[in-house]
Structures are given as C-alpha cells and as structure tokens.
Amino acid sequence: MAHSLQTANFLIESRLKDAAAGKIEAYYDLGIAYSSGTGGLDIDLIEAHKWFNLAAVNGHERAQECRAEISDEMTAREISQAQKQARAWLNDTMRRAA
C-alpha cells in the first residue's frame, strides 16, 4: 500500500509540474487520477472536475466528456467549488508566469 501511495504522489507531483507549464494533457491526467483513485489516491470529484474543466476549456474533447460524466454525480455546490478552484489555479499560474 505504501508503495502505491508513493507512486500516486509521484504521479501527482510530476503532473502538477507539467500542468503549471500549461500542458493540457497533464490537466486531463490529473482529472483521471482524482476521478478514479489512481494508485490508492483518494477519489475527489471536485478536484477531478477542476482538472477536467481546465483541460476542456483548452479544447481537450475527452476531458469535456469526463467532466460531464462526473458532473452527474456532483451537487451544484460541488461543481461551483470546482469551477472556483479552476479559476484560482489559472490566476495563480498566470501570476507566477508574469
């Protein structure tokens, strides 16, 4: 179990670096990780929606589909929270890049 958690943490850390660099596929990968519990990671639909949303607004078609699928399992408040987190991520990333 500890090994799979280390693997999940490594996956998240590496994909977060790529996401911070604006790599759309990393957004999608993070959405998959949080929606499916990859490597023992806790499933977090708000976090998954955030990442799928970031990928979707950048034209990733599969992310659009995944975002719609998990939205069916979320409350309006959870979706709103995910959207707020996505905007915050973009604002923080743009501020660091400036």
Secondary structure class of 42 (helix, strand, coil) = coil
End-to-end CA distance of the chain: 40
Q: Phi first, then psi: give them for residue 59, nearest 5 degrees.
A: 90, 10
> pTM score > 0.85 for this model?
yes
CA atoms within 13 A on the CB side of 35: 24
Q: What angle do CA 33, 21, 23 make, to 5 degrees?
A: 55
> Per-block average pLDDT, block size 10, for the chain (98 residues)?
67 90 95 90 95 96 98 98 96 78
Q: What does the pLDDT read at residue 84?
A: 98
Q: C-alpha distances in angstroms, 28 versus 1, 35, 65?
A: 25, 10, 11
List the domain boundaries for the chain: 2-97
Q: What does the pLDDT read at residue 5?
A: 67
Residue 23: closest CA among 95, 98, 93:
93
